[in-house]
Chains A and B, each alone.
Chain A
Amino acid sequence: GAVVSQHPSWVICKSGTSVKIECRSLDFQATTMFWYRQFPKQSLMLMATSNEGSKATYEQGVEKDKFLINHASLTLSTLTVTSAHPEDSSFYICSATTLTYEQYFGPGTRLTVT
């Protein structure tokens, strides 16, 4: 199957700093990528849809100025958590869709804000 990578796999940062998470589709091109957040023992919550070359579409309740998404190429999307606070600590997961609509997920990034 298709492979999606994320970097870093985990990160610890201080409150008020910004953190960038990268998502790459390694063996296919993805015009659309998605960013999810998952809290312990909960399901994945879609944050935004990232389209190559255009602005991301954010889900209701997700602050676009806090979670900056850039989809610069067909294989790379980045999520930047700006001015992070402890409540932003979570498991962030990206995914990419193939031409046959199968969606493949990255391994996730564990963010801890102290």
Chain B
Amino acid sequence: SQKIEQNSEALNIQEGKTATLTCNYTNYSPAYLQWYRQDPGRGPVFLLLIRENEKEKRKERLKVTFDTTLKQSLFHITASQPADSATYLCAPSDSSASKIIFGSGTRLSIRP
């Protein structure tokens, strides 16, 4: 069955450093992969979408890579700030984008 794993349940980073979150998937060949941010008691907020034919995508301090050989996506936040503290969700979707499956999420904490 399809499986999505995010590297760790929680990650603590010093402010100003780069946070790197990992998403690995198995038994799956997604055409797209999306990253979301979720704060407690709120719905996920869309951050970035990367397609299978794209190696890397950037948006301001965010960078996502997509390695279909390794079946892995990396999500980077550079110059991290305490306001970046949240749970980040990896969500691959299939070729028809008919539905996406969420990873368990990584709770990121940025300490001042």
Q: How far is the CA of A102 from the CA of B57 in the complex (A)?
A: 14
Residue on B nearest A49 in the bound complex, by CB:
B99
Which B residue sits closest to A100, measured CB to CB?
A: B49
Main secondary structure of the interface of B (DSSP, over half): loop
Residues of A within 8 A of B93 (CB): 101, 103
Interface residues on A, range: 20 to 34
Cβ of A54 < 8 Å from any Cβ of B? no
A1 B46 Cβ-Cβ under 8 A = yes
* Contact A107-B97, Cβ < 8 Å, known A43-B103, A44-B89, A102-B49: no
Whether B78 sits at the interface, judged by CB under 8 Å, is no
Contact of B42 among A34, A100, A103, A107 (CB under 8 A): A107
Question: Nearest Cβ distance between residue A104 and chain B, in whole angstroms?
Answer: 6
The yes or no answer to A76 lying at the interface (CB within 8 A) is no
Contact of B98 among A32, A44, A102, A104 (CB under 8 A): A32
Bound-complex Cα distance A101 to B89 (A): 17
Q: Which 8 A-B pairs give the minimum distances between C-beta atoms? A: A105-B43, A101-B97, A108-B43, A105-B44, A43-B104, A43-B102, A93-B43, A44-B102
